[in-house]
């Protein structure tokens, strides 16, 4: 059965209370439940993790190589700073969708640069919590087209 890793980066554990005007009031637990329901309907299995540490995120990406068929990555602020995440994605040779709750291109200038985009299959941003379901459907469609 197809398996997808959804990996969330720093501060996403605070969803629902952190800057609700930017990120909404949906919690990460709510998003995980929504994703598990969508995954079941799509006939795929899902692993869902959140890490505040860049190194732990790299470890999850490395481990995905032997466990998952694709990765949906909301790297949070590491999107704009982490060459390590970019290199990890390149190393595992799995399709990755970059995901953001907010439209990063409509925000501060420093958020316009992504180290993830050049090694990602695509980017979904600006749709809030619904972006997770959009990403999941897009990944499943991509994996089905490649099989």
pLDDT tens-digit profile of 56-113? 999 999 999 999 999 999 999 999 999 999 999 999 999 999 999 988 877 778 778 9
Picking from 56, 92, 59, 98, the residue whose alpha carbon sits closest to that of residue 76 is 98
Q: What is the mean pLDDT of the chain?
A: 94
Confidence label for 25 from pLDDT (cuts 50, 70 and 90): confident
Asked if residue 38 has pLDDT above 80, the reply is: yes
Catalytic one among 60, 68, 78, 100? Answer: 100
pLDDT at site 111: 73
Active site residue 115: no
Strands 70-74 and 45-50: unpaired
Asked if residue 144 has pLDDT above 80, the reply is: yes
Place of tokens 């985009």: 117
Active site residue 23: yes
CA atoms within 13 A on the CB side of 119: 20
Write down the pTM of the prediction: 0.94
pLDDT at site 4: 98
What is the spatial distance between Cα 143 and Cα 138, in angstroms, rounded to a whole number? Answer: 9
Domains of the chain in sequence order? 3-146 (3.40.50.9100)
Confidence label for 30 from pLDDT (cuts 50, 70 and 90): very high
Query: In the chain, what percentage of residues exceed pLDDT 70?
Result: 99
What is the spatial distance between Cα 5 and Cα 68, in angstroms, rounded to a whole number? Answer: 6
């Amino acid at each position: 059965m197809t398996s997808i890793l959804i990996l969330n980066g720093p501060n996403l554990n605070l969803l629902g209370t952190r800057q609700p005007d930017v990120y909404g009031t949906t919690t990460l637990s709510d998003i995980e439940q929504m994703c598990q329901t969508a995954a079941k309907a799509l006939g795929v299995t899902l692993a869902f993790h959140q890490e505040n540490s860049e190194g732990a995120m790299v470890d999850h990406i490395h481990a995905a190589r032997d466990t998952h068929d694709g990765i949906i990555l909301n790297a949070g602020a590491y999107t704009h700073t982490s060459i390590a995440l970019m290199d990890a994605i390149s190393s595992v040779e799995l399709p990755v969708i970059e995901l953001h709750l907010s439209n990063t291109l409509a925000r501060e200038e420093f958020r316009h640069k992504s180290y993830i985009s050049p090694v990602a299959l695509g980017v979904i941003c600006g749709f809030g919590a619904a972006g997770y379901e959009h990403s999941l459907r897009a990944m499943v469609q991509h994996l089905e087209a490649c099989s």
